[in-house]
Amino acid sequence: MKAAKKPIHAVTTWVRRQPPKVKAFLGVVSAMTALVLLRVIVHDHDNLFVAAEAVHALGISVLIYKLTKEKTCAGLSLKSQELTALFLAVRLYCSFVMEFDIHTLLDSATLVTTLWVIYMIRFKLKASYMEDKDNFAIYYVVVPCAVLSVLIHPSTHHHIINKISWAFCVYLEAVSVLPQLRVMQNTKIVEPFTAHYVFALGIARFLSCAHWVLQVLDTRGRLLTALGYGFWPIMVLFSEVVQTFILADFCYYYVKSLMGGQLVLRLPSGVV
């Protein structure tokens, strides 16, 4: 086992010593490589979106275990959960009035479990909630997302309220994890279940991003035209990319910690 860890340790040490531009380049190359592999392995790329929802559900299952078995919500951001519930509720509304499909059922289940997590943090486990660490002002993301959704939204035939709501949930989803990252930034030490949950979010959002990128490639850009005209198609893809890269740095240290056999994740200064 030790011999197997040496090459991994050598690679992670080399990557850590590289300047930010080289790290960014390596991250882009790794992401492109993963996209190529997914395009070859997964024939129906719609399955990537379902897989993203499944991984997100798995992450929430980890939260449920933490809250019910360990009886603590330490390290969790209530604000991130509330932002998640908000964009899920708006997306569910859009799904009902615009198109009802399997994603509507998945979002319904995710919203119910997210509301349960919020209830547990607010009432049942309030004593262990780290309110002083959860100090991200959510209006910093809600207000810009609302303004942006009014300015840039789908150009489809739907009612203007529905189009703005759709854009709002897309933008808000991209940044809803920021309060959770702030909590981890403030504590610097992330216990296992919280780390598993955030890593699951990172994987889910990468799969969702891969779904959109591969769909655009498969349709040779026709998907962007189907989404409408103007800046909206670009903003959809941009939002998917943003929410993936927001968690990329954390996922790197998570994998590194896992490979090193560490149960508790310790984040260096400047991460997330």
Has residue 246 been placed in a domain?
yes
Q: Which of 7-11, 254-258, 262-266 has the largest mean confidence? A: 254-258
- Cβ–Cβ under 8 Å, residues 224 and 149: no
Q: What is the pTM of this model?
A: 0.80
pLDDT one-digit tens code per residue, 76-96: 999 999 999 999 999 999 888
Mean pLDDT confidence for 162-170: 93
pLDDT of 114 above 60: yes
pLDDT of residue 125: 93
- Cβ–Cβ under 8 Å, residues 107 and 115: no
User: Which two structure tokens, joined as six digits, stand for 223?
Assistant: 């998907």
Residues in the chain: 272
User: Which two structure tokens, joined as six digits, stand for 72?
Assistant: 């603590």
Has residue 23 been placed in a domain?
no
Mean pLDDT confidence for 254-272: 65
Alpha-carbon gap, residue 205 to 100, rounded angstroms: 22
| Number of C-beta neighbours around residue 197 at 10 A | 25
DSSP state of 268: P
pLDDT of residue 87: 94
Has residue 132 been placed in a domain?
yes
Has residue 227 been placed in a domain?
yes
Has residue 21 been placed in a domain?
no
Percent of the chain with pLDDT over 90: 31
Tokens 């056999």, located at residue: 261
Alpha-carbon gap, residue 173 to 159, rounded angstroms: 22
Q: Which of 4-18, 161-175, 227-241 has the largest mean confidence? A: 161-175
Has residue 243 been placed in a domain?
yes
Percent of the chain with pLDDT over 70: 72
Has residue 189 been placed in a domain?
yes
Task: Name the pairing type of β-strands 265-266 and 189-190.
Answer: antiparallel
In one-letter notation, the amino acid at residue 190 is: V
Q: In terms of residue numbers, what domain contains 132?
A: 73-261
What domain count does the chain have?
Answer: 1
Has residue 200 been placed in a domain?
yes
pLDDT of residue 12: 61
pLDDT tier, 4 (very low <50, low <70, confident <90, very high otherwise): very low
- Cβ–Cβ under 8 Å, residues 83 and 61: no
